[in-house]
């Protein structure tokens, strides 16, 4: 089997709708147990200047037959190598739960390794079953539009 970073870019990014006019690429990292398909419709609800790039991890979705990573560090290094060709314009990371950790660690790795970093890092998580009834589904909904404007230079 080849090195994880050597896997073709199109296997890491699924459901992407390339947008040459995009001013920002949003890389979306799914939570544990799901794949990039969770983000397949996000581009329909975001500003036109945002190109959504759902990240497909090995062992999930279209890469189900590949061995999943069992440690964070090798996954982050493979992602840094694989996503490098798409970091040619401003970019942001969004991750939910485990995806938030992956996005955070990837941002740190990119900064250390090549001096680049996302314009924004968006993280989310569920407050847990005990608190879910009292928490609105999207507490930041009113701030979304201004958040995206702040990510684009």
Would residue 97 show up in a list of annotated catalytic residues for this protein?
A: yes
Choosing from 37, 43, 97, 147, the catalytic residue is 97
Of 17, 6, 73, nearest in space to 42 by CA: 17
Task: Please give the Cα distance from 109 to 115 (Å, whole number).
Answer: 9
First to last CA, the chain: 40
Of 26, 20, 18, 16, nearest in space to 46 by CA: 26
Residues acting as catalytic residues: 97
């Amino acid at each position: 089997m080849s090195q994880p970073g050597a896997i073709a870019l199109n296997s890491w990014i699924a459901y992407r709708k390339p947008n040459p006019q995009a001013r920002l690429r949003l890389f979306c990292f799914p939570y544990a147990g799901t794949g990039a398909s969770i983000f397949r419709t996000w581009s329909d609800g975001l500003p036109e200047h945002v190109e959504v790039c759902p990240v497909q991890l090995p062992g999930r979705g279209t890469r189900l037959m590949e061995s999943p990573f069992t440690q964070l560090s090798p996954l982050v290094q493979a992602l840094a190598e694989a996503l490098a060709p798409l970091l040619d314009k401003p970019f942001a990371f969004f991750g939910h739960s485990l995806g938030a950790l992956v996005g955070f660690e990837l941002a740190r790795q990119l900064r250390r390794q090549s001096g680049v970093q996302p314009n924004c890092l968006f993280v989310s998580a569920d407050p847990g079953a005990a608190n879910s009834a009292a928490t609105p589904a999207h507490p930041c909904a009113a701030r979304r539009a201004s958040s995206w404007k702040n990510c684009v230079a």
